[in-house]
Every structure is written in C-alpha cells, then in structure tokens.
Structure 1
Amino acid sequence: MHISLSKFIHLMVVATGIVVLGACSFFGYVTWKEEVQLNDGRVIVVEQQKRAGHGIAREAWLTINLPEFSAQPIVWHEHLSPLVVNIDGGKLYVVGYTPTVVEFKQYGNPRPFYVGFVWKGGVWSRISFDRIPARIYVTNMLIDGFPPRGTAFLTLEKKNGSDMNGRATAPPSLKRIDPKASFE
C-alpha cells in the first residue's frame, strides 16, 4: 500500500490532534478515600471528590466523619483544592487554595491564595487568613489535583511518598501554608 507524503503528514496531524484533545479535555468526576492525620495524632478517612475541567480540579467535595462535631457526615464543597482538614482548639477547619486565576477572582483575590473555613453551628463559615491557626499550616491532604488513576484508597504512606506529597519538586506553598505565597 502506498500513501503519499502529504497524506501521511495530514493523517499524523489529525492523529496528534485527537491525542492532544483527549489529554487536554479531561472532564468528569474522580472520587477516592484518603487517610488524613490530625494534629491530635488520630488518622481519619476522608472521602474526596473532584470535578475536573481540562484536567484541572475545578471543584471539590470532602466528606468527613467526626462524631464530636456531627452525628452525620460533614460535607465541605467549594471551588478550591483542599490542603488541610484539621482540628485546633476544639474547632474543625478546612483550608484550600485557588487552583487557577478563575477561582482566585471568584474568591475575591485572596492574599495569600489560601481560603479557610471553620465548622460552626452545623455549617461551614469562611474565615479570614489571619484566623487560620498556624498549628494547622502543615498540609495533610493530597496536594496533587488527583491521585494516580484507579486509586480508590490512598494511605498515609503512599500519599507522603516520594512520588506524591513527599516529592522534592512539590511546591513548598502546597506542602505548608505560607503567609507570603502568591501567584506572582
């Protein structure tokens, strides 16, 4: 079978375009459970679900079971990437960051780019950055947008390993909340 050079190039361009579009347009939901170590030493399991748009986590849900705060599962839902679920001073906190400029603007251009919440009276309330306790600055959630494909349960050991949160190239501002962090 003989194919002209121009037809071959055309087919290669089309095939490459299909692969690139497929890789760049990852849409959908990813759900997994992950072990999270709290400052008091307990390890809890948090269910995390993220909605992807163009391969970026654009929305997240956390389901947290802590009977001292609620007899029912506690659900946190925002257009952020969660970094911290922790307890300090008898209060439950979640801290996330804005994954893109779209979310940065949506949350009022927070400086630094972290957004904190406290569970109080059965609802999540947004708090200013200065009300996030420094004792919970160390990240205890998966810092990457998504776990490896097919992951249903993420252990502390795997999450803190050298190919995830423990990798040398992980941005310091995602491994630990940094009051000086910015997009600039």
Structure 2
Amino acid sequence: MNATSTSPVTSTPILRRTLLWSAVATLVLAVVGAILGVTLAGTPGLFSALAGIILAAIFLGITGISILIANRWYGDALYVPIFFGAVLGGWLLKFVLFLVVLFVLRGQDWIHPLVFFIAVVVSILVTLVIDVVVLTRSRLPHVSDVTLPTAEDLAAASAADAAEQPHTIEESEPKKPSLGS
C-alpha cells in the first residue's frame, strides 16, 4: 500500500475481536476463579485467583494493544520501526512488570501460591484458545494489505516500456558471442 492509503490494516479487526473476547473471558474466569479460590483456600485463595487472572489479562492485553497502537501509523514511512518499537516496548514493559509483581507478591500472606499459579496458567490457556478460534474464523487473505494496479498504472507502465524499445534493427538484434578471445 502507498502512504496515502486510508484502509485499515487487516490485522486490526482480528486484534480488536481477540481483545474483546479476552476481556469477556477474563470476567468469566474472575467469577469462577473467585468461587474456586474461596472454596479451596479461603480468602487468600480468592485474592490469589483474582490477582493471577488480572495479571495474565494485563500481560496478554499489552501485546494486542501495542500492535493496535502501532497500526495507527500504517502507511507512514516510519511504520515498520514504529511497529517493532511498540511491540518490543510492550515486551520490555511486561518483563519489568513481571519482575516488579514477582518481588511484590513474593512472601505475601494473602497469596496462596498454588491458586495463583493455576489462575495464571488457566487464564493464559483460555486466552490462547481465544486467539486460535478468532484467527481461524477470520477471513484474513494470504497476502494482506495489497492493492492491485489500476488502469492508469498499467497505461503508464506500457508507455514507459514503449519508450524503452530499441528503434533500429541493429539495437534489437542480440549480439553473438565470439568464439575466440
């Protein structure tokens, strides 16, 4: 696509749909996790399940949101560096956030480690299933964001080819290779 294109990137609707379904799944997991957490480990289980589910939702949402933000510059000459900068920045943010959360939550009385771990793992697996389902049901072309040449483009190319054609017979005949050098 050229820099004057106004059509959206084809991954944008897919990412939006994924984020929407992930938000719905997070709400369902929060309710189920809270009930199971309280049942299995009391109040620490409740807080651990909610913390694990929210943490997984935040981490998984950062990537989708960073790509959606970077897609706003699609068609710009700096789109590729902006895209990779946004995605890499999201990964670095998640890494730093993970370390901070790890140090803050370590040894807390209100955290039940097993419930927290299970909540994080289940949240990640549910989100991965959502990603796969949304992607497989989306109609994403094999070659995306491509425009076909217009009649004007073809006419201009034809005129350019005609201008480059040789004008004499000698110029158009291929040169024969010499046998002896």
TM range (shorter): under 0.3
Greater percentage in strand: 1
Greater percentage in helix: 2
State the TM-score, normalized to the length of structure 1: 0.22
| Larger RCO, structures 1/2 (Cα 8 Å, 6+ apart) | 2
Bigger radius of gyration among the two: 2
State the TM-score, normalized to the length of structure 2: 0.23
